[in-house]
Amino acid sequence: MATTGEGNQNQAGRHQEVGHKSLLQSDALYQYILETSVYPKEPEPMKELREVTAKHPWNIMTTSADEGQFLNMLLKLINAKNTMEIGVYTGYSLLATALAIPDDGKILAMDINRENYELGLPTIQKAGVAHKIDFREGPALPLLDQLIGDEKNHGSYDFIFVDADKDNYLNYHKRLIELVKVGGVIGYDNTLWNGSVVAPPDAPLRKYVRYYRDFVLELNKALAADPRIEICMLPVGDGITLCRRIK
């Protein structure tokens, strides 16, 4: 996929700029959150993976450190055990998940690119959580269809994080709503899409931002109209919409 507006990092591995300007009053306020809440409590492997990722040319795709902290806390709050992630990249959100779930917890992780996952894998192994991860290389949609084909997977996931090709989110949603349990949560990432969801039609947007914007707008509308879920859109990272299945 094209690079996404996920968060920008400088060489020190800090996450700056991005939608944060549109979501918070200033970069200084965002730095304050990082320095006051995130970095002092950040587990060593998360820091290491952030630094490894910062050196990669596509580091704009990584989950921001504050969002990693949020996911880690959320998973603990809901006692998630059986989880799924679509869109792994170097594994920052994956590690946040793996560190949060119990030792016998599981993450079915999918990405079309194994190479980037392998950049993060040594850190994940060192953290002692690699045994929780079942990584599958390939497009997520056929794998989801395979899962749906087996009744025992229905309603079996406590938490699913979706952070991949935004033009497929609605296709994912059709399947994930069957796979997540009632009371379980699906998190769709980047639902504020660089703040572009409120940009006027003629705004000068980067090409990939413009291309995916309509899909994000359509997703946001569809989630708000879906009677099977309760939703909460949070201005964390580039926007994350939590969907709690209620029927």
Measured from the Cβ of residue 60, the count of other Cβ atoms closer than 10 Å reads 16
* Cα–Cα distance, 31 to 12 (Å, whole number): 13
Among 69, 82, 190, 241, the residue binding Ca ion under the rule CB under 5 A is 190
Of the two residues 144 and 205, which places its CB atom closer to ligand SAM in the complex?
Answer: 144
Q: Of the ranges 23-31, 89-97, 149-157, 201-209, which one interacts with ligand SAM (CB under 6 A)? A: 89-97
Q: Of the ranges 5-13, 24-32, 50-58, 176-184, which one interacts with Ca ion (CB under 5 A)? A: 5-13
Determine if 93 is a binding residue for ligand SAM (CB under 6 A).
Answer: yes
In the complex, least distance from residue 192 CB atom to ligand SAM, rounded to whole angstroms: 14
**What CA–CA distances, in Å, run from 75 to 69, 107, 124, 158?**
10, 12, 18, 9
Determine if 85 is a binding residue for Ca ion (CB under 5 A).
Answer: no
- The answer to whether 69 touches 96, Cβ cutoff 8 Å, is yes
In the complex, least distance from residue 117 CB atom to ligand SAM, rounded to whole angstroms: 8
* Cα–Cα distance, 9 to 61 (Å, whole number): 10
Type of residue numbered 171: N
Determine if 101 is a binding residue for ligand SAM (CB under 6 A).
Answer: no
Determine if 82 is a binding residue for ligand SAM (CB under 6 A).
Answer: no
Among 189, 212, 216, 243, the residue binding Ca ion under the rule CB under 5 A is 189
**What CA–CA distances, in Å, run from 137 to 86, 90, 212?**
11, 13, 23
Of the two residues 25 and 213, which places its CB atom closer to ligand SAM in the complex?
Answer: 213
Positive or negative CA dihedral for 228, 247, 159, 85?
negative
Residue of 200, 199, 190 lying closest to 234 (CA atoms):
190
| C-alpha 197: how far from chain center | 18
Determine if 112 is a binding residue for ligand SAM (CB under 6 A).
Answer: yes
> Site residues (CB under 6 A) for ligand SAM?
1, 4, 6, 61-63, 86-90, 92-93, 110-113, 116, 139-140, 163-165, 168
